[in-house]
Amino acid sequence: MPDKSPFVPVWQVLSLPALLAAAVLALGGCASKPLMPYTTETTPLMLVPAIQSDGQDRRGRFREIFCAVLEERAGSVPDYRPCEEALTRVGNEPPGDGKAVSLGRSMHPLRVVYVPGLGWDCFSAWLGMQDTTAAHIRPFGYDMVTLEIHGLTSSRSNAQQIRDAIMAMPREGTVPDLVLVGYSKGTPDILEAIVNFPEIHDRIAAVVSAAGAVGGTPMANDVGQSLLNLLQYFPESQCTPGDKGAIESLRPDTRQAWLAANRLPDGIAYYSLITYPEPGRISSMLRGSYRKLSRVDARNDSQIIFYDQFIPGSTLLAYLNADHLALAVPIARTHSIVGEVLVDHNDYPREALIEALLRFIEEELQGSE
């Protein structure tokens, strides 16, 4: 489909399109002040290997499932990539289980509740994204719905919207069947929802961070909410400023203080899918923000450092060879010119990834019964 507008969007902070070219200089340029300034007024932190944080490293088994899905669906899913190119091997990845992978109809139907990231309602109409993932997984007995949260508001406000949406969903039986997948800011929105509203717990089988801003991002320390609010004027935008708390919700101090003060509920399975792209897989429009965040740590997806995407105590599923946009925002599929010029590494087999995720979770649920 050809581009309908001469307006060229620029995506820089936290996976979102900025409105003005000036924003590119502000967000992706070389700022003089540190992204993480020196202070003693901070939550005490300790960076430890995921396996030492009460979590599990199940990358080997997830790789087996994802590779099997990719090869089986090679001719039917968009943006196919060989498994070795879709996943990044980091450190000593554990071996797989060697078990056969079921690729037929699900015996434990699960429903993905997808919570998108910052500013989604500002640009989703322009994006013209087709519901290809839901269409792909439904023949296997799964389902998927995207929640219409407010893209410029705080995680606390969006948590209430997530709660209300879940409570309004029809339910069949008493077995938890919802898999809450949070992309970028969608992850802290979900985490606040499950802490604040225990009435939704018996509906939830799992919570997944997909490039989630669990620990926030240093990029939010260099941006004001007023700049983000310019997204209201994006072509076909349907967003409003709301409580104007989105950027504050993404600041590392905010997220780390929240994690220190709130224990995640028991009885829910937690998983992390972490974007860890090779530098050559960063789209041209994101290279400025990648370099900027690399002043803190080069192991980033252009918006979030890899360790800030991990839910404490969760099961580590994979490091994905995709930048922040490529994981979940298929711009190049509907805007080919933008894809060729600005997001030239936007391809990723997202549909196969979600199928593999659901098959992994289903396998774990069956093993725990």
| 221-247 confidence digits (pLDDT tens) | 988 888 778 778 777 788 887 898 999
Instruction: Report the pLDDT averaged over residues 248-277.
Output: 97
More confident residue, 1 or 341: 341
Using alpha carbons only, what angle is made at residue 97 by residues 91 and 101, rounded to the nearest 5 degrees? 115
Is 115 within a domain?
Answer: yes
Using alpha carbons only, what angle is made at residue 124 by residues 341 and 328, rounded to the nearest 5 degrees? 65
Across the strands, what pairs with 183? 210
Domains contained in the chain, number: 1
Is 4 within a domain?
Answer: no
User: 32 falls in which pLDDT band (50, 70, 90)?
Assistant: low
Q: What is the pLDDT of residue 39?
A: 83
Q: What is the pLDDT of residue 25?
A: 31
Q: What is the pLDDT of residue 166?
A: 98
Pairing of strands 143-146, 111-115: parallel
Compute the distance between CA of residue 113 and CA of residue 147 in angstroms, rounded to an integer.
7
pLDDT tens-digit profile of 3-18?
A: 433 333 333 333 333 4
Residue 225 parent element (H or E): helix 225-228
Domain interval for residue 311: 54-96+110-368
pLDDT tens-digit profile of 332-347?
A: 998 888 888 888 999 9
Instruction: Report the pLDDT averaged over residues 267-273.
Output: 97
Hey, is 361 helix, strand or coil? Answer: helix
- Residue among 341, 290, 368 at smallest CA distance from 108: 368
Is 42 within a domain?
Answer: no
Instruction: Report the pLDDT averaged over residues 75-99.
Output: 95
| CB distance 311 to 182 below 8 Å | no
Q: What is the pLDDT of residue 17?
A: 39
User: 369 falls in which pLDDT band (50, 70, 90)?
Assistant: low
Provide the percentage of residues in the chain whose pLDDT is more than 70. 90
User: 264 falls in which pLDDT band (50, 70, 90)?
Assistant: very high
Q: What is the pLDDT of residue 92?
A: 92
Unique residue bearing structure tokens 């450092």: 305
| CB distance 232 to 239 below 8 Å | yes
Instruction: State both tokens at 211.
Output: 């490039």
CATH code of the domain containing 262: 3.40.50.1820
Residue 147 has pLDDT above 80, yes or no: yes
Is 228 within a domain?
Answer: yes
Lowest mean pLDDT among 22-31, 191-200, 244-253: 22-31
Residue 48 has pLDDT above 80, yes or no: no
Q: Tell me the CA end-to-end span of the chain in Å, nearest whole number.
A: 47
More confident residue, 259 or 236: 259
Is 141 within a domain?
Answer: yes
Backbone angles phi, psi at 128, to 5 degrees: 65, 35
Unique residue bearing structure tokens 């000593």: 92
Residue 260 has pLDDT above 80, yes or no: yes
Q: What is the pLDDT of residue 157?
A: 97
Q: What is the pLDDT of residue 81?
A: 94
Is 23 within a domain?
Answer: no
Instruction: Report the pLDDT averaged over residues 27-36.
Output: 62
Q: Which 8-state DSSP code applies to residue 310?
A: P
Q: What is the pLDDT of residue 93?
A: 95
Q: What is the pLDDT of residue 71?
A: 96
Strands (E), the chain: 10-11, 17-18, 56-57, 111-115, 143-146, 178-183, 204-210, 269-275, 315-320
Provide the percentage of residues in the chain whose pLDDT is more than 90. 69
Is 5 within a domain?
Answer: no
Residue 24 has pLDDT above 50, yes or no: no
Pairing of strands 315-320, 143-146: unpaired
More confident residue, 308 or 44: 308
pLDDT tens-digit profile of 94-128?
A: 999 999 999 999 999 999 999 999 988 888 888 87
Is 13 within a domain?
Answer: no
Burial class (CB in 10 A: 0-12, 13-18, 19+), 322: buried
Compute the distance between CA of residue 130 and CA of residue 345 in angstroms, rounded to an integer.
19
Show the 3-state SS of 176-214. CCEEEEEECCHHHHHHHHHHHCHHHHHHEEEEEEECCCC
User: 357 falls in which pLDDT band (50, 70, 90)?
Assistant: very high
